[in-house]
Homo-oligomer: A and B are copies of this chain.
Amino acid sequence: MIPEVIRLADKLAAFSDHWNPRIVGAYNGNELRVAKIKGAFSWHSHAATDEMFMPISGMLKIEFRDGERHLRPGEILVVPQGVEHRPVAEEECEVLLLDREGEPNTGVNPSDYTRAKLERI
């Protein structure tokens, strides 16, 4: 069986809400996710997974307790496991994420942004 092509634009066109990642693929026990984000997320860390961010459109800021990084399409940031961070987007940003399978979007720090179960699209 031949694997399917994951067309990110098609996946992103399928929803409009913010901070609600959708699962779009699998890689070695990790989930490829896409999300639309706007505003500031809650501070959190992931106990047992790194987290990869790659903007597809727009600008993404990742705040850390001791600084920040700015990302645009064509750029990638991997937040190591255990490192506190907070994604922020002044304008809407579409982002590709990679997280270990089943990892909550707010890691070990539940908040109003926590999504109990992510939808696969």
Contact indicator A49/B69 (Cβ below 8 Å): no
Chain B neighbourhood of A95, CB < 8 A: none
Q: Which residue of B lies closest to A24 (CB)?
A: B76
Chain multiplicity (copies): 2
Q: Which of A7, A27, A56 has the most CB of B within 10 A?
A: A27
Contact indicator B78/A8 (Cβ below 8 Å): no
Q: How many residues of A contact B (CB 8 A)?
A: 35
A26 is an interface residue with CB less than 8 A from chain B: yes
Chain B neighbourhood of A30, CB < 8 A: 27-28
* Chain A interface mostly: strand
Contact indicator B28/A100 (Cβ below 8 Å): yes
- The B-contacting residues of A in range 1-27, CB under 8 angstroms, are 2-9, 25-27
Chain B neighbourhood of A28, CB < 8 A: 28, 30, 49-50, 100
Q: Which residue of B lies closest to A70 (CB)?
A: B5
A52 is an interface residue with CB less than 8 A from chain B: yes
Q: Which 4 pairs between the two chains have the least Cβ-Cβ distance?
A: A6-B76, A2-B67, A28-B50, A27-B50
